[in-house]
Amino acid sequence: MPGDDQGALFARDRSWQPPAYTPGYKSTTFRAPRHALLSLPGTASELTGPTFGDMPLNPLDNDLIRNYSQDGGEAIGQRLIVYGQVLDENARPVPGTLVEFWQANAGGRYRHKREGYLAPLDPNFGGCGRAITDANGFYHFRTVKPGAYPWPNGANDWRPAHIHFSIFGHAFAQRLITQMYFEGDPMIWQCPIVGSVPDKAGITQLIAKLDRHNTTPMDALAYRFDIVLRGRRSTLFENKLEGN
């Protein structure tokens, strides 16, 4: 929150986060540093970050069903509302922060020139969107459920249905990219990228839950995906030893 942007962040729990080198995910082999990370205390360079609260968004920026439609059409697929709250480790909402998301279409095909999967593109689906969290840290968007797709890792590896997320927070050292999965998908537990997360409880944190209360009847199902960013230690004031 802008009012307490002074305190240092809690140290990142690197045993909870995926390590750099996870050979089951082959691309990490030559892209993982081999030296230990150098630990630094946070300075202004890490404890500040860009803010987006005033950035004007287009009304369709959080509607992937319509934000790329060329002719008033709509994307094909199972219609979804994805929503959730961005919190910090102290369970405080993170308002006014930019959340970006991207995904494949209902058939598992990405709109990207380097993607060669034979499932067809959807002419009315681009696959990107963004939202700024409200005063209570909530974001939401409309989309279609992405399909699973095969990828060249093992001989027959498939990614579970997923949506990529990029979140800023209020400090550059809170910057996070992750992936959201769907409750009940059996492929989650077979995926080497998911498996880069060491703790089963950590993986569970990446699985969005079906939320029947927020469905739009006769229109769209809803999934809830909350996101937790690093929290700040409050600045210790001598006259306020309990913190704030």
Partner 1 sequence: MLHPVPTLKETPSQTAGPYVHIGMTPNWADIRGVYETDPGATMVSADTPGTRIILSGRIIDGAGVPVSDAVVEIWQADGNGSYGRPVGSSAEARPAFTGWGRQPANGEGEFRFETIKPGPVPGPDGRPMAPHVAVWIVARGINIGLQTRIYFADEEAANARDFVLNRIPDPKRRATLIARKEEGDVPQYRLDIHLQGDSETVFFDM
**Residue positions annotated with a catalytic role:** 110, 149, 159, 162, 164
Binds partner 1 (CB under 8 A): choice among 179, 190, 214, 215: 179
Q: Specify the 3-state DSSP secondary structure of 213.
A: helix
CA nearest to 145, candidates 82, 78, 210, 208: 78
Which 185-224 residues touch partner 1, going by CB under 8 A? 193-194, 196-197, 201-203, 205-206
CB count in 10 Å sphere of residue 223: 23
Q: Number of C-alpha atoms within 13 angstroms, CB side, residue 100?
A: 8
User: Of 7-15, 71-79, 136-144, 210-218, which part binds partner 1 (CB under 8 A)?
Assistant: 7-15
Structure tokens at 230: 């690093």
Cα–Cα nearest to 78, from 105, 59, 102: 105
Residues numbered 126 to 155 that lie near partner 1 (CB under 8 A) are 126-130
Taking the complex as a whole, the smallest distance from the CB of residue 220 to partner 1 amounts, in Å, to: 20
Q: Binding string, 12-41, against partner 1, x = CB under 8 A?
A: xxx-xxxxx-x--xxxxxxxxxxx-xxxxx
# chain residues binding partner 1, by CB under 8 A? 95
Window 61 to 90, contacts with partner 1 (CB under 8 A)? 61, 67-68, 87-90
Contact 140, 57 (CB under 8 A): no
Q: Using CA atoms in the order 148, 152, 157, 162, what is the torsion angle rounded to 10 degrees? A: -30
User: Which residue number, 35 or 212, has a Cβ lying nearer to partner 1?
Assistant: 35
For partner 1, the closer of residues 185 and 215 by Cβ is 185
Please identify, using beta-carbon distances, which residue of 32 and 78 lies nearer to partner 1: 32
